[in-house]
Structure 1
Amino acid sequence: MNERTLRVLEFHKVLERLARYTSFSAGRALLETLRPSTDSAEVQVRLDTTAEARILLEKRPETTIGGARDIRDNVRIAAIGRALDPSAFLEIRATLESSRILRHSIMKSNQDGSLYYLSQIAARLADLPLLEGEIEQTISSDGTVLDSASPALRRIREQIRITHGRLLDKLNSIISSSSYQTLLQESIITLRNGRYVVPVKAEFKGQLRGIIHDQSASGQTVYMEPLATLDLNNQWKQLQLDEKDEIERVLRELAAKVGRHVSELLQMVEALAELDLTFAKARYAADLRATQPKLATIPLPGVVLPEGTHLLNFIRARHPLISGKVVPIDFYLGGDFRVLVITGPNTGGKTVSLKTAALLTLMAMAGLHLPVEEGSQTVVFQKIFADIGDEQSIEQSLSTFSSHINNIIGILGEIDRNTLVILDELGAGTDPTEGAALARSLIEHILQREAHAAITTHYSELKSYAYLTPGVQNASVRFDVETLSPTYILDIGLPGRSNALAIASRLGLPASIIEQARTYVSSDDVQVDALISKIQSERDEAGQARYEAMKLKAEIERQRDELNRQLRHIEDEKRKAAAAAREEARLEFEQDLIAMREESRAVRQRLVDIDQAVRAAGEKTEIAAELEKQRKALAEAEKLALELQRRAQRRAREKAQAKTRAESEPEPFIGELKPGDRVQIISLQQEGVLLAGPDTEGIYEVQFGSFKVKISSLDLKRLPGKPRSSDKPLTLRERADLDGAAEKSGIRVNARSRAELSETVSLELDMRGWRAEEVAAALDRYLNDAYLSNMPFVRLVHGKGTGALRQVVRTYLKSHPLVKSFRSGENGEGGDGVTVATLAT
């Protein structure tokens, strides 16, 4: 992305505000490298990750990275075998603790799968409880190495305490002895150069055997270490050195343990920095009352967007850097026009509109949510160029015009259809006639390169050019002549009005001069100005109505999404209930089977006992007869066990079907069956209409819903009342699960069970590339399956092309009994390339 563009559009100021929401240095360092991405997939992931962070912070507002620190330098030092200060270990421990807590919080909050991208980042957070515990047992919260760090350190410190006590006891005995009272300046013990000494009067220093370590500033006192405590002082000092060596050894050993996890710890800090930045984006978005924009893709050459759709569409957009009350604007570009020309007087509102649209585009490409209304949309451009403001260069002796032209020359050499160009006051700074001509030529060049552009100018000549040129659209920023200030309301489709005479009149210019000036203005210009004023008033009313309609549409879509969610929940519950019924039946079957096997096993054991008795009794005839009898009983038991298994399987299947089927047993109407009668198919529990029969074999033909079956009179009951229309589809209640009943009765119908269909039938049928003769049979099968799956609607993708396939599909739908209505796809659904069919209930 062009750095000059980022600077001109003040993207760095957005980053400065975003930095206020970060929590530690690694997050801020990552923020400094944040730039808009030109990869659509990456931008979508960034936006979704920010959305997930907002969800998490709404669930758990207390979520932070805690006391994490950027420990990467210390970890690298530890990895090369060098020791670390205790304070460095405390930072490592605090970071490990924050990592562990944050990882647990995100993973726990992701149980419903709503934090997919955040959980991926959290998976890189180190969870090293052993290392965390090692540091905790080694370093205290105030940075002291604990006695528990090593047995040697504990032993040394115990010896230090003992030696220190003996040393003080000896010194106390000296200063309290009457023999030394006259020699001492004071009866105190003090430290000099790390050794304990007593203050001795200078004139008596020769009377106390010892070592002088210091003297007072006046020279009247010398600080002496008595010879009697020399060995204890030496021992105490040596133990302190031993303690220091052991502490250094402990710290080196602990650093080595840290170094063994160098890759995990470095990855942990990077993940924490990424989460810190993501949380900052989320909190910034919340404060801006921002929403997540949709992403549009620039269509391929030759592809025309549906009328009224736009690639860039910011609804009630607010500039994120303007404080106080901000007037929102509606800004759209692409689709019907690729170049927007904003005309009108130099009031300041035009430039703000340009900057708002361009800066919001950059923010979205950086993964930031935008201060816009729901339903807004942006584009991931490969290049964005901006030339804004008075950039006259004194050092280079360039005028404003020359400076702008130099910038534009550089821009025009790089633009293509994936480029957004922002030009402020195009052609300014030179002769009006030539400036307008040059501006028109530049716009035509941008159109030829198929780039998208938003341009401001004060040249009135460009108003008619924009009106008459395909791909170019007028726009203006309103000006309040009563307050002599811009309203900052952007009107796309209307050129700017001339307010010079109105402003002059408000400022007090004599009326005679104003009237004289009006005589010099052509009547056509006056009429055009009045017409623009009238159109502007009508557009205000239409715009308000459109805004209310958009809000209503958004609410309807929200309710539709909620209903779809509830529908999915109901289907899930139905599948769970069916699965539970199958599982219950399976358990009952297994229990029956176990009982059968136990019975068979008992018979087999009895047979073994008989064989043993036979061998013991020899060849006695009565025993042999008993054996043969028991063998026959065994064979009968085995047959019985197999039959009971089959019965248990059938009973389990019937029970599972009964739990998912509405059972009703109407009273039969006794009488002769004839075509047109209302009948019930007993085995299927379905109502139908008798079409024909009986044939020579006593078989009747019955239709129920869109299905026809051949069935015996023994499986039919005549019902009172008139039959319903044969082409009327079954209701949801009547769409019972047909699979088990059909299998039991031997009836074959063109249907599969709803439980099977609901898991296999797609909501969408792609027919692109089909021949017309392929449509009827395949579409009929698909609609039947979708109908039995309780789908409320289906999407039929046939593409646009010549429109022949679309016509065949829609002609077929008009007469299909399962189709209640159909329509073309809306924006975002595929337009005329898709037909959405609502199925009958």
Structure 2
Amino acid sequence: MNKKILDILEFDQIKAQIAQSLSTSQGQNEMARLSPISDKARIQKWFDELSEFGAIVQENGPVPLSNTADLTEILRRIELDASLASQEFAKIKKALRLANETRRFFEQVVNVSFPVLGQTIDKFVDVAYLLGLLQVIDSAGALSDTASDKLYTLRQNIKKGDAEVKKILAEILSKSQSSLTESIITIRQGRPVLAVRSDSKNKIPGIVHDMSASGQTFYIEPNRVVQLNNDIAQKKIEEKNEVARILRELAEAIKPHIDDIRQNTWLIGQIDLINAKYRYQVAQKATVPLISDHKAIKLYAARHPLIDPKVVVANDLFFDQTLETIAITGPNTGGKTITLKTLGVAQLMAQSGLPILADLGSQVGIFTEIFADIGDEQSIAQSLSTFSSHMTNIVKILDQVDAKSLVLFDELGAGTDPKEGAALAISILDFLKSKHAKTLATTHYPELKAYGVESDGVENASMAFDLDNFRPTYRLVQGVPGRSNALEISRRLGLPTQILEEAAGFLTEDEHDVNVMIASLEQKNQEMTESAKQIKALEKDNELLHHDLSRALETFNRDREKELNKARQEAQDIVKVAVEEADNILKNLQEKSLLKPHEIIDAKHQLGELAPEIVDLSKNKVLKKAKAKRGLKPGVEVLVLSYNQRGNLIRLAKDGRWEVQMGLITTKLSEDEFEPIEPEETVKKTKTKAVKKTVTSNIKAQLDLRGVRYEEAQKMLDDYMDQALLANLHQITIVHGIGTGVIRDMVREYLQRSRHVKSYSYAPQNAGGSGASIVTLK
């Protein structure tokens, strides 16, 4: 985009408004580089990121951004092996910590999906290692005492030496008050000294470091502390060298990761820029526009961002695909120039990925160039008149314009003879129309009114004037040419009636009819505008209501499911305790031989049915429909595959399994654990064959628990033992593996407790050894 249009439309001032919400230096850099582009996919990506960011902030709160320094020069110096101060490392640390916090914030986002913005967030590099290195830099930007053992020792010795010096000096102070001009310890030439009276300087032997201007005071370092101070000075030199060494090593450790640091700081700038856009959008009630495929522009209630929101007038502007030129005609009052600038600014902002000051549903086009000739271009230095300056600018524009251009002309053809100016204006508009460029032009020439009516792809427009209150309304009226209100205004200003009547007589009948026609069109347009406003208000209310109801319904459904699952979980916990207690009672009864094995199994299944399942209810409907298609219903006779026994379906349980009655036993089985038995007529045909077939159990004599979790293994073992008892198996093998021994110990404890186990032992070495147990049942 040419720089001139950015200057004409004051794009930098608009960016400055948005930049007020930036927090980081990186964000400031990104804002400085921001300019309009014509890549539709990239612009749409910017808009999607902004929309997703807004949804995240509304649901999860603001992103934790804070002030950070620009690291560009610091990182470059590290690459050049230059020395850095600890405060510069502190700036790196702060930026990396912010990057880490920002990444963690988005990782913890709930209830919002952000696939487009997520592509940017995923580019953050994990900098935990670098933050660990930089822990030696404290919050004040100084190198921590614990950065190295040597540094710690040196600083501790320096502190001890300073304390000893202060102790000695304090002792001298207390004993030599009469010899001192001041009872304080002061510093001269970096050494602690006492202010000694000139006539008492021999009473406190030491090194004189300074003397007062009057000569009455000598600043003396007592001999008792000279050696101590020398030792301290030596240790401070060693400390300085050690600090320099540590910082050099720190820079060397960071150097290989400079690209990662640059990546993270760039991403901080991106997030900060998006945050500033969002805050501007909220503050200014701006919106993210749609992007047209065919340069069509639809702006609803568009406002200029540099005009005070309290006084700015919002205007609709429709520039559809078939329309190539809009000519705003009428007198030089009423905001024609602002309308031009509002369109241009909206396009610049949109093509920079910024929200525009217009209502929801607004649409912008994509233009490779925007040209404008707006304002007084008179050049004294070049001795050019206003007309010449404008025409020079227009010539440059016409040389570059094409079908992907948007052209804005203010007072086209002004500054010369009206007839010639009008002819030039029409010819220029015709030329731009032949290039298929979108053009918005203002003019006060009446000839362009007819041009707008007679030419295809051209539309008249005007700025409404309130004659009742005698002031411009600054509202754009499309489809209606502007009319001069000179006679009416003059009449209200008190011009004599005789003059007004004579002036009206000079107007031709056609001119009079045109003014009447325009007045009629203005009235009809006003009525249609009011109707459209009412419809739009109703649509907006409906949209808001629909949005609120949708969110309320979503929240209600989510809360309902949470409460239902909470209730089911509580019921499950209660029943689980009851089942465990009942299980203990059954075991006690079993030990007293009051119940048979199959009765115990039946009782356990009945107790298990009491526990409610936490399931997706919608899935149950689908399951029931699928079962119905197969003809499964209560009363149907089935063959239970695991027991090779017949049973009858009783009812479909909540969890999608069927309750099956097998003699005295009732159990729950999934659909793949049984098969419907064919009708009796079919059975008769194969009766002879069936008699010859030996009935055998499908249950295997081995249970494999390897790789199964502890709780699941317990349940599998318990169910398997029930099935083995029903199948009258004499010997079974439990494969539990060796592993950590947890499953093996569980199996051994279970077998020890069971009254149905006659004996058990580990398998032979060639059959699994201690990884399997051979069990003999009673």
TM-score between the two structures when normalised by the length of structure 2: 0.68
- Residues 622-701 of structure 1: pairs in structure 2 closer than 5 A: 659-662=622-625
Change (3 A) 1:532 1:208: closer
Counterpart Cα distance in 1 of 2:160 and 2:338? 78
State the Cα deviation string for residues 389-420 of structure 1 (Å, max 9, x = none). Answer: 12111111111111111111111111121111
Give yes or no for contact 1:341–1:475 (8 Å, CA) kept in 2: yes
Alignment pair present for 1:296 and 2:292? yes
Distance 2:254 2:677 in 1: 70
Which amino acid is the alignment partner of residue 330 of structure 1?
Answer: D
1:100-179 alignment runs, 5 A limit: 100-109=100-109, 114-136=113-135, 138-171=136-169
- Number of matched pairs: 577
CA distance in 1, matches of 2:433, 2:163: 93
- C-alpha displacement of 1:246: 1.8
Partner of 1:472 in structure 2? 458
Match of 2:365 in 1: 379
Distance 1:217 1:102 in 2: 59
8 Å contact kept, 2:56–2:112? no
1:810 maps to which residue?
A: none
Q: Distance in 2 between matches of 1:172 and 1:541?
A: 94
Q: In 1, Cα distance between the equivalents of 2:107 and 2:157?
A: 49
Give the one of 333, 344, 348 matched to 1:347. 333
Match of 1:259 among 252, 255, 258: 255
Q: Distance in 1 between matches of 2:375 and 2:347?
A: 19
1:502-517 mapped onto 2 (5 Å cutoff): 502-517=488-503
Q: Which residue of 2 aligns with 1:411?
A: 397
Q: Deviations over 1:435-475 (max 9, x none)?
A: 11111111111111111111111111111121011111111
Question: In structure 1, which of residues 280, 283, 298 is the aligned counterpart of residue 279 of structure 2?
Answer: 283
One-letter code of the match for 1:5?
I
Structure 2 unaligned blocks of 5 or more: 559-618, 634-675, 679-778
Give the whole-Å Cα distance in 2 for the aligned partners of 1:389 and 1:454. Answer: 15
Change (3 A) 1:244 1:658: closer
Q: CA deviation at 1:68?
A: 2.6
> 158-167 or 445-454, which moves further after superposition?
158-167
Helix, strand or coil for the counterpart of 1:396?
A: coil
Q: Aligned residue for 1:315?
A: 300
C-alpha separation between the residues in 1 aligned to 2:205 and 2:539? 102
Secondary structure at the counterpart of residue 217 of structure 1: coil
Q: Which residue is 1:605 aligned to?
A: none
TM-aligned CA deviation for residue 326 of structure 1: 2.2
Answer yes or no: is the 8 Å Cα contact 2:328–2:481 preserved in 1: yes
Identity, % of aligned pairs? 37
Q: Paired residue for 2:234, among 233, 238, 254?
A: 238
| Paired residues of 2:294 and 2:321 also in contact (CA < 8 A) | no
Query: SS of the residue aligned with 1:260?
Result: helix
Instruction: Map 1:722-733 onto structure 2 (within 5 A).
Output: none
Closer/same/farther in 2, CA of residues 480 and 237 from structure 1, 3 Å limit:
same
Q: Which residue of 1 aligns with 2:411?
A: 425
RMSD: 3.5
User: In 1, Cα distance between the equivalents of 2:182 and 2:460?
Assistant: 98
Aligned counterparts, 1:351-366, within 5 A: 351-366=337-352
Letter in 2 for 1:3: K
Number of the residue aligned with 2:697: none
Matches within 5 A, 1:708-747: none
Per-residue CA distance 1:8-61 (angstroms, 9 max, x = gap): 122222112122121233322221221111111111112222222322332344
CA offsets per residue over residues 161-215 of structure 1, 9 Å max, x none? Answer: 33334444445555666xx788666676543323344444445545765433222
* TM-score when normalising by structure 1: 0.63
AA partner of residue 542 (structure 1): M
Instruction: For 2:40, give the aligned amino acid.
Output: S
Is 1:390 equivalent to 2:376 in the alignment? yes
What is the match of residue 716 of structure 2? none
Shift in alpha-carbon separation, 1:261–1:236, aligned structure 2, 3 A: same
Partner of 1:737: none
The aligned amino acid for 2:231 is Q
**Structure 2 match to 1:834:** none
Please report how far the alpha carbon of residue 508 of structure 1 lies from its aligned counterpart in structure 2 after TM superposition.
1.2
Taking the aligned partners of 2:328 and 2:179, their CA distance within structure 1 comes to 100
Question: Could you say which residue in structure 2 is the equivalent of 1:85?
Answer: 85
Paired residue type of 2:358: V
- Given that 2:330 and 2:481 are in contact with CA atoms closer than 8 Å, whether structure 1 keeps it comes out as yes
Task: Tell me the amino acid that sits aligned with residue 113 of structure 2.
Answer: S
DSSP 3-state at the match of 2:458: strand
Quote how far apart the aligned CAs of 1:256 are.
Answer: 2.8
The answer on whether the counterparts of 2:325 and 2:440 sit within 8 Å (CA) in structure 1 is yes
Residue of structure 2 in register with 1:801 after alignment: none
Deviates more, 1:527-536 or 1:196-205: 196-205
Partner letter of residue 333 of structure 1? F
- Pair 1:522–1:139, CA change in 2 (3 A): same
Q: CA deviation at 1:661?
A: 4.2
State the partner residue of 1:611. Answer: none
Q: 1:683 to 1:371 in 2, by over 3 A?
A: same
Are the equivalent residues in 2 in contact too, given 1:75–1:258 (CA < 8 A)? no
1:213 aligned residue:
209
Task: Name the residue aligned to 1:53.
Answer: 53
Aligned-pair distance for 1:493? 0.8
In the other structure, the counterpart of 2:741 is none
Q: Distance in 1 between matches of 2:461 and 2:280?
A: 31
Write the distance in 2 (CA, Å) between the matches of 1:377 and 1:29.
29
Cα shift at 1:135: 2.8
> What letter is aligned with 2:103?
R
Instruction: Answer whether contact 1:107 1:119 (CA < 8 A) is retained.
Output: no
Relative to 1, partners in 2 of residues 1:461 and 1:200: Cα closer, same or farther, differing over 3 Å?
closer
Summarize the Cα distance change of 1:497–1:86 in structure 2 as closer, same or farther, 3 Å threshold: same
